[in-house]
Structure 1
Amino acid sequence: MYRILTEERLKVAVNRDKVDLWKADVAKSVDFYNNWFMEFAPKAFRDTRIETTKQVEQALQWTENLTNIRPDTLSEHPSVLPMLRMATCPPIARDRLIGLAGVSKNLVENMEKQHRVPPKMKQTELVSQLTKIGAIIEKMSDPDIFVLKGRKDTGTEDEVYRASTIVADRLCGAVADPIIRNAQEQRQLASIKKWLEKRGYRELVQGEAEDWLSMPNGTFSFRFNVPVEQENGRQVNIPVDAVIMRKDAEKGDYPALFEAKSAGDFTNTNKRRKEEAVKIQQLRSTYGDKISFDLFLCGYFDSGYLGYEAAEGIDWVWEHRIDDLEHFGF
């Protein structure tokens, strides 16, 4: 009985065919997002800024307040490089630092993205390039922030703290969108968890299932990797925000897959709308048409975005109407 219901549900749309409701839902979703942003986003930003300030203070200790940026310090603490770029006047973009210092792009990207130095780079070359980076940062450090520059002392506690907060503000300003997006995603997943637990579902215990297909009935998990086959035969993992095994699933039934999506403007959603289409195509190519991949939306998703996803057979639940999850068989 469940398999028949599942197959029928895959054919019956929940929201993707309700075109007459899209405009009203978009307006409600925008209001929902904006209300959350006004109330909680400033706190998320402040909390991150406080933590970033502590990290900047630590980095200033390692570099003697930017007066002695040694190669061994950068090698041991490569993740400080973004902070160092924000401590100059003017702040230096990543590619600009590469050009100014005349260093390897691979080195800088490894330090900033992988938080390491390239493992295969020769030591002599590594020391040479890190020395160049340190020299540029020392020369261009902002004298209005680091007022102790040119003095022989290490600065007062207040001066160092003030400099740290200013650099932290610059850092947080450069990554404001990811900070907000991360806070919003956490809230979305918490909403799904609360909704499911009220209906007798429970979160999967670590190690309880070998993979996403062996999840017990009535369980769910967040940020689960689902393997798919690419056209070249290579297997890759698709990270899925929410994987839910229905209570009455039969052997061989697939869990429901949901992607939590939020957006603070219409432009970025339309730029990224192909991402979900690629995922559903890879999933269907690997597992067949019985697999489902749907969205949990909050924010700025206009009719252009919705129409694109609907054309791919992707359905969605609006967070402001979360009870629509019932129509997905939960």
Structure 2
Amino acid sequence: MGINLDKPQLWKSDIKSSVDLYNRWFMEFAPKAFRKTRISTAKRVKRALQETNYLNMISHVMLEKHPEVLPVLRMSTCPPIARDRLVGLAGVSKSLVQNMENTENPHVSPRMKKSQLITELQKISDILTKMADPDIFTWLSDNREPEETEIARASTIIADRLCGAVADPIIRNAQEKRQLAAITSLLEKKGYRFAKAGTHYNEMPAGTFSFHMNVPVFVAGTEGETVMIPVDVAIMPLSANPGDIPLFIEAKSAGDFTNVNKRRKEEAVKMQQLKNTFGNDVSYSLFLCGYFDSGYLGYEAAEGIDWIWEHRISDLEKLGI
């Protein structure tokens, strides 16, 4: 017997409750997450302005020394320039721009010839200088030093542009943290504890759980070849025996109905990979909050994927935890 996949008579009311829960959270907490990110982003923008002498000194030398400023400078133009658009306008290597905008390690292309690197960075700097937004950077046309209030205003405007471009990931990250915190709270009340860092899925002791675990699955059409797939939550029940496979859960949230139906096949593929590796009895469920309509639910149910609604988190107990 299923948890929710075989109860379509409940879907309509559950969808409404799920949307209401997401909207309450969004109105109360999402703006805080966005504001926090905007504040830190504004500081990053201010540093970038300082590195460029407040846009008076955009050059290949500066870009090579401080590649991390490129996203800020793209949002400083009129109109703001998308990454691929900058590649086309400047006629430069796409990999160079991608490397400079690597969030973890911004860098220029290490294998590019020095002469080509200088040429391409100068092309980028020429475009950015020419298109700098005169309504934001008012001091440029006057050829003067900016005032502190002007710097603060410009930094906030550019930070808003940057955050607007990444608003969805900001909200998704905040929502995932909240969902995992809710699961943690329920499990800890039942006596579960976090598995030690680095514990593999097949080494988890009974009564432990882990987040963001990589699980090896067989590649279809090969002889034993495996790939790693990420699973948001792995739970080894208190009653588990040595060698048992954990319960796998995917935490999913959505702020509109459109995107979930575009991505609903991803869970079906992951479910099939897990079945091919661990057998048809493997437990893989979804933990849902937000905009998941009957079309999405019907598709997942047809694939044999069950789900737990966050607004009725007690249903996790039906997994046998």
**Long gaps (5+) in structure 1:** 1-11
| Amino acid aligned to 1:14 | I
2:262 aligned partner: 271
Gap runs ≥5 in structure 2: none
Aligned equivalents of 1:143 and 1:240: distance in 2?
47
Alignment of 1:174-185 (within 5 A): 174-185=165-176
Match for residue 261 of structure 1?
Answer: 252
1:5-49, Cα deviation, whole Å (9 max, x unpaired): xxxxxxx31111111111110011011111111111111111110
The SS at the match of 2:3 is coil
Aligned to 1:59: 48
Aligned residue in 2 for 1:5: none
**1:294 Cα deviation from its structure 2 partner:** 0.8
Regions of 4+ moved over 6 Å: none
C-alpha contact (below 8 Å) 1:223/1:241 kept by paired residues:
yes
Corresponding letter in the other structure for 1:63 = T
Q: Give the aligned partner of residue 236 of structure 1.
A: 227
- Mapping 1:1-330, distance limit 5 Å: 12-113=1-102, 115-207=106-198, 209=199, 211-231=200-220, 233=222, 234-330=225-321
Structure 1 residues 129 and 306: alpha-carbon distance in aligned structure 2, compared to 1, 3 A threshold:
same
Matched residues, number: 317
- TM-score, normalised with respect to structure 2: 0.94
**Alpha-carbon offset, residue 174 of structure 1:** 1.4
Q: Per-residue displacement from partner, 1:98-148 (whole Å, max 9, x unpaired)?
A: 111111122222322463333332222122111111111111111111111
What's the offset of the Cα at 1:71? 2.5
Change (3 A) 1:283 1:77: farther
CA distance in 1, matches of 2:102, 2:298: 35
Shift of 1:152: 4.3
Partner deviation per Cα, 1:239-273 (whole Å, 9 max, x = no partner): 11111111111122101111110001100110110
Residues 20 and 54 (structure 1), Cα distance of their counterparts in 2 relative to 1, 3 Å cut: same
**1:64/1:154 contact within 8 Å kept:** no
Cα distance per residue 1:75-112 (max 9 Å; x no partner): 34333222111100111112211111111122222322
Q: Distance in 1 between matches of 2:12 and 2:107?
A: 47
Report the RMSD for the aligned CA atoms in angstroms. 1.5
Change (3 A) 1:230 1:78: farther
TM-score by length of 1: 0.92
Cα distance in 2 between the residues matched to 1:226 and 1:77: 38
Cα distance in 1, alignment partners of residues 109 and 247 from structure 2 = 40
Measure the CA separation in 2 of the matches of 1:31 and 1:63.
Answer: 46
